[in-house]
Amino acid sequence: MAKKIINFLVYHLATGFGSGRSPIAPGTMGTAVGVILYVLFFPMEYFNQLIFVVVSIAIAVYAAGWLAESEGVKDPQIVVADEIVGIFTAFLWLPYQPDWLLVLAGFVIFRIFDIWKPRPIKDFESLPGGYGIVLDDVMAGVCTNIILQIWMRFLLT
């Protein structure tokens, strides 16, 4: 019974609470879930944001790897935990109540990096299991975060 409950939780974490089952743009839907979770959970100090993101990445790696193994597919389309933690990384250390234009820009820039996957982002896909599924999106989030930090600090002032 406990194993069924754990599997249920891991499945729903991996699929972004079902958003990965969207017939249209599941990665974009997962990113949208990430934005909602960002709004709900990121009103915290910067160090706590870092802990939240690191723990979220670890959970996503496990959940994505578990579901990929269960499905017998290297990177199942229904796994969107990677998009969720990628967008968390994109918004890391931005002021909690940023301009909504900044949030929208982060969403769009992240999706561009996630879909386009320029090097070195693409190189992370070759890592085994959940690491390969998640860490390329985390790197897309890092690239997005750098752009947002520059925009926020130098262009919005």
User: Average pLDDT for residues 126-151, to the nearest whole number?
Assistant: 96
Read off the amino acid at residue 17: F
Give the N- to C-terminal CA distance of the chain in Å, as an integer.
Answer: 55
Structure tokens at 135: 């860490």
Cα–Cα distance measured from residue 125 to residue 36, given in angstroms and rounded to the nearest whole number: 26
Query: What is the per-residue pLDDT for 2?
Result: 84
Greater confidence (34 vs 2) lies with 34
Structure tokens at 2: 């406990």
Range of the domain at 100: 2-155
User: Average pLDDT for residues 137-154, to the nearest whole number?
Assistant: 94
| pTM exceeds 0.75 | yes
Cα–Cα distance measured from residue 132 to residue 152, given in angstroms and rounded to the nearest whole number: 30
- Name the H helices within the chain: 2-14, 26-41, 46-71, 81-91, 100-116, 129-150
- Picking from 3, 135, 141, 134, the residue whose alpha carbon sits closest to that of residue 64 is 134
Query: What is the per-residue pLDDT for 95?
Result: 76
Report yes or no: 82 and 137 within 8 Å, Cβ to Cβ: yes
Query: What is the per-residue pLDDT for 41?
Result: 83
Number of structural domains in the chain: 1
- Picking from 110, 86, 106, 108, the residue whose alpha carbon sits closest to that of residue 98 is 106
User: Average pLDDT for residues 4-17, to the nearest whole number?
Assistant: 95
User: Average pLDDT for residues 127-134, to the nearest whole number?
Assistant: 97
98 burial level (CB within 10 Å; 0-12, 13-18, 19+):
middle
pLDDT digits (tens, 9 = 90+) for 52-111: 999 999 999 999 999 999 999 999 999 999 999 999 999 999 876 667 888 999 999 999
φ and ψ of 54, to 5 deg:
-60, -45
